Structure 1
Amino acid sequence: MQDAPALSIDPLTRLAPWGSDPAASRGRRHPVVATRDRNDFQRDRDRIVHSTAFRRLVYKTQVFLNHEGDLFRTRLTHSLEVAQLGRAIARTLGLNEDLVEAIALAHDLGHTPFGHAGQDALHACMAEHGGFEHNLQSLRVVDVLEARYAAFDGLNLTFETREGILKHCSRRDAEVLEADEPGGVARRFIDGTRPGLEAQLTDLADAIAYNAHDIDDGVRSGLITLDQVCELPLVRRHRDAALAEHPALAADAGRRLLYETIRRMLSAQVHDVIDASAARLREAAPGSADAARTLPRLIGFSDAMREEGTALKRLLFQALYRHPQVNRTTELARQVVRELFAAYVAAPQEMRPGFAARDDRHRAVADFIAGMTDRFALGEHRRLTGRDLFAELAASTAAADTAGADGGR
């Protein structure tokens, strides 16, 4: 069989015709003077890295709450992994690596403390006040909430980076955003077009990263086992290949077999995305980044790999995300968010002055809570309620364990 023809990538710009050229960006909401040392997407990346919201990600939960262990992933380490995977794939497909990196580093800036448990609780609290959704909040962070520049609110990022940050949006929310910014980043949710290819790629790199590291963190926590996830062909074949090449791993009491399995699985998924996407790009041959927005989604897995990835997500959901131990801690996290929300609505002066002075009280409270790290939220909850819910859980668990041990004598 002949090799498929190579993608046409400009050796100077390293971009294919469908890659986003920073010189052709749709620009920023507030014009800025160009610099000679960085293009617009590189400036976006740098603004994100220097933002307060980015630094907070180091103490925001991925799956396991921040206090549960130093080696579990946080939103920051997850974002770095997404950026690394995205850049590697973008380089091969002729997409803009800097834009992929900027989107990856910013995509979780709007996440609440305590992961999806915090988001769900805050959404319920805001049900009668416009709701809460972390993708919208990430856009809100970079458009409004970051206060670093004298001339404007937010980070004033390019259209292309902001488009990638807003990867999900309801029709209702899109119409609100469209009214404020006609033809802007929400337009595609109304007219049915796609985001740029770099945004499509970052969305996929996000899924690849969290599936892999949730296996790692889940096994590290003891809540799932490698044998459990090896029930799936996607994982099992890479474990078996690792053992065939390195038989001594079978007797290794450490984590090398797990790491080797995950490494091989990641490589297989990356190569699958590259091969499947390259084939679609060659067939569709979009002449520009904007032309690609009018076509069906071009960046993605093969059908077979997509099905295997879906099966992995399903297993992780059932065995890890809904594990009784995870449920106990996430329910306490929801309680912390609910009680913080009620306390700040009743007494807005308990928030920092910039939030306390706002007229839109409920949205101000949501913005304040969403910006918290796990440990700051717990500290505020202790200050306002006098309770430490996680310490109480630990004490009750220890007491139950002691009672069980005594009963077995």
Structure 2
Amino acid sequence: MTQDSTRQDSAALRADLNAVIGEVAAIYHERDTEARMITVGVLAQQHTLLLGPPGTGKSAIVRELTGRIESGRYWEILLSKFTAPTAIFGPIDVGALAQGTYRQILDGHATTAHVAFLDEIFKCSAAALNSMLAYLNERIYHPESGGAPISCPLVSAVCASNELGEDEATAALYDRLLIRMEVDYLAEADSFDRLLMSAVTGGGQAPTRTTVELTGLLQVAAHEIPAVDLPAPVREAIRDVRSDLRQREITSSDRRWKQAVRVLQAAAWLEGRAAVAVDDLAVLTHVLWDVPSNKSTVSRVIRGYLSPDDRDLANLEDQVDRIAAELDKLIADGDEDELRTWAVNRNVELAQVAKRISAIRDVASRGGRALAPYQQAADRAQQVYTRLLSEALGVAPDKIPALGRRR
């Protein structure tokens, strides 16, 4: 195969993958980011966690996406604390056992899958835990009968859970899941309306169904994505992100940072670039958070490297958080005079913060950027402002003005 034909095949695969992402996002509203990041995870040969309540379509979107991979073997399981290793990796061959031979039936189980969906991953039984860790990290399975480990063709696993694990055993599993995404119920009225109508119409006309070949995916993952360049300016930005997060007491292991590079390369390749760009750092918002409570901090720190306005927004959000923490402390201390004096000063500061957030949001709107992060910052400032006036200065909630301009 010539170099030109290889490039053409690569471009066709890229176009098909982007078509798949678009088609799946059209079926599952407000899930375009999830569809893209699962695809990036497959290209980067890394694992993805979907964290969220039941009924948010976690399993459905995985099945729809992975069902577009021709020749790829898909396997899924709902785990529980009673799940035996043989239920995951292959049951005992009873017929062979009757002949005095102990072996497992591996075909059709995790051991032969290219993509695996592991539902309720943190309920993995203690008996299966070590085998699962080796499976996710090293792509091997140690058979029940002993002997040499079995190499597994796993490209990527997508795991789902309604909640995070709370013990050291599940922490080891959690560490194997590089891409982490919270999936919530639909937020936009239009999306919810389309959901209701899909129940009436049965989903409407069958959408276009683009597929991709496993062989092409494996070729790109093995050869093209590792060759995507990581230029010096991007490396410098990554070092700065790491430093900024450390200052906020959010740290990631060296292994996670190294694996994150492959995710950046996959994201750049999917956009048709031969080198990672600073804009690709946006995918790290789904890699560097450890617990949901620090996800928003990671997101705004990274956004600060995507544009000067977003860097200002990150600092403004930090300022709002600091005022909220001070308010909580003063209320807990119970000194009403000190609280009132403090609130009078912070009232002006919050109004200025909200005005700047509104201006940044307007610039983002004119630039065609998604407004959700900016509106969330404005809503957070309004929430703290309302608390400050009502709880510290005794202003009736219905008399509190709206900060900034709302769209």
Pick the TM interval, shorter chain: under 0.3
Higher helix share: 1
Greater relative contact order structure (CA < 8 Å, 6+ sep): 1
The TM-score normalised by the length of structure 1 is: 0.24
Higher strand share: 2
Higher-Rg member (1/2)? 2
